[in-house]
Amino acid sequence: MKKAALFVIGVIFVCLCGFRLLGTSAPQGASPERASAWSQLGPMGGDIMSLARHPKLSGEHYALIRHDLVFRSTNNGGKWVRKSALDLNYSYFDIALDPKNPKTIFVL
């Protein structure tokens, strides 16, 4: 049950916050053509499966990418550093931080 709840929380987070973190909102005065332009950002070209935001440090984010790797950014996604590789015998879909102890990272 806990895994399902964490998965739902992660999906809601990505839906509500993920687009803003990836810079999809247009700055004031930008043309609609520019606002609809996409560019690859993030670790390894932006192939991100899930994002998690640190509950206390607003600029710190974690990304789970398709190749079962976890990356961390401390500057709102400006630079990503690889934190770990996961066991390739499993498929991973979501990442979350423990709100009471953000040093604990859950990967489901």
Is residue 35 one of the residues assigned to a domain?
no
Residue 33 inside a domain? The answer is no
pTM equals 0.60
* Token duo for residue 44: 């390894």
**In total, how many domains does the chain have?**
1
Spatial distance between the Cα atoms of 88 and 49, rounded to a whole number of angstroms: 15
Is 81 within a domain? yes
Q: Is residue 28 part of a domain?
A: no
Give the CA angle between residues 80, 96, 100 to the nearest 5°: 110
Q: Residue 59 has what pLDDT?
A: 92
Question: Of all helices (H) and strands (E), which one includes residue 32?
Answer: helix 32-35
What is the reported pLDDT for 3?
Answer: 54
Q: From first to last of the 108 residues of the chain, give the pLDDT tens digit.
A: 555 544 545 544 444 444 444 444 444 555 555 556 666 666 766 678 899 999 999 999 999 987 778 999 999 888 889 988 788 777 788 999 999 999 999 988
Residue at 84 is within a domain:
yes
In a domain, 34, yes or no: no
Q: Domain containing 93: what range? A: 2-22+42-107
pLDDT value, residue 92: 83
How far, in Å, CA of 21 to CA of 14, rounded?
9
89 domain residue, yes or no? yes
